[in-house]
Amino acid sequence: MQTKMRRAAVVLGLVGAALILNTACNSNKNEERPIEEGQHFTVATWLEGPQYLGSTKSLTEGTLSFLGKGFEAEGSRYIQHGGYIYMMNLTEKKFNQYALSKDGQITLNGSILTDGVVPNYFQSLNIVDDNTLLVLGSVDDNKGTAGWARIEIPSFKVVAKGELKVPYDAADPGQGFYVGRGYVDNGKFILGGYFYNSQTKAYAPTGVTALVYDYPAMNNMQVIQSNATKAGIGYDYLSSVDTDKDGNHYFVASAGKFWTGLGGKSGIVRIKKGESKFDESYFFDVSSQLDKEACLMGITHVGDNIAFATVQYESMMTSVRDRLKNVGQVVKLDLANKKVTLMNTPLSPVAMVRAPLVYQGKYYTALCIDGGEANLYEFDPKGNADSFKKGLKIDAGGWVQVQMIVANPAN
């Protein structure tokens, strides 16, 4: 029964009040460098019972066991920056900071109660510079307002907070705008999100919509739109927005009927560096190069305009609950030439991995196969559809999902 309740809680969070991860600043990435002796990595997992953080010396071999081991850390939103993991604990309404040491130790370093800062919970986590974490959450059931707060890091202090406007039509009270992830560029905070109607229980996109605010004031909302597809963008807890080496920004546009859309074409929209409008000359249609009604879920830029991403096959699904089954796969994306390479990986719930890792020029994610093994996998961006290998095994004694992979500070 506990397992069923746990999985039910996962699904409820996925559907309505939108539950995060990764950022436009690529906070879980490290510059390429040799793996130094003693390097450790931290893996965040969601088990049948509690959630845990664990430490390992290798991503590519061995076993990381959570059987009677691990640092218990409940979280529904995860983000990492500068030797710390930040996690939103919905149960306790606490936002926690965990310090990662060079020797693999994990320590709860501080907590912020969300009440009085951003109502309900911190839904959207965004690293906007090396010293600032910007969080957002819904106010008044998403009826025209959202809360925001700037948190100084790593000191972990709230330095400013307030409310901002989001789209709302009083004539259609069931429909609300749910805040996603965003980034700061040229004095503007550009925010993704999606429309969901709580009365009809359906997504309601009219195109692609983003919101632009003056930063750091967080006012003067402007709505920008694209007609490239009908989709939500920048989903709040997945790796759904990233930046290339030239500073251009890419939002995942998820058009799936089970994920912020109506069942249309999923892909990538772009906003050029320094601009506050969609680049209408750019839409990377991922769905049309695949089959099974592929819905793009997340992207992670590795370098040289190559990104790895995840898709879920909606033709294999009958409801949002099926996303925790083997309906996802990894793809490689050539952002410049708009080319998709389907990686020949096993099907798994890989699309739900919230924070993959780029390390030493390689991409790491987890394939936790429903009814099979759970492993980290390493992908080589210079290779072909078979250029990946199974790595570290995750042993939880049962159902497990990996949420985040992080490189600890190096020696």
For the stretch 303-336, pLDDT in tens is: 999 999 999 999 999 999 999 999 999 999 999 9
In contact, 51 and 380? CB cutoff 8 Å: no
Domain coordinates in residue numbering, the chain: 2-407
pLDDT-flagged residues of the chain (< 70) = 1-37, 411
In this prediction, residue 138 carries a pLDDT of 83
Question: 């839409």: which residue's tokens?
Answer: 283
DSSP 265-329: --EEEEE-TT-SS--TT-EEE-GGGSSTTEEEEEEEEEETTEEEEEEEEGGG-SSGGGGGSS-EE
Class of domain 2-407: mainly beta
Dihedral angle sign, alpha carbons of residues 358, 78, 81, 297: positive
| pLDDT of res. 145 | 93
**Model pTM?**
0.90
The structure tokens 């510059």 sit at 31
Radius of gyration of the chain (CA): 19
Determine which helix (DSSP H) or strand (DSSP E) holds 400, and give its type and residue range.
strand 400-407
Report the pLDDT value the prediction gives residue 120, as an integer from 0 to 100.
81
**Predicted local confidence at residue 24, as pLDDT:** 34
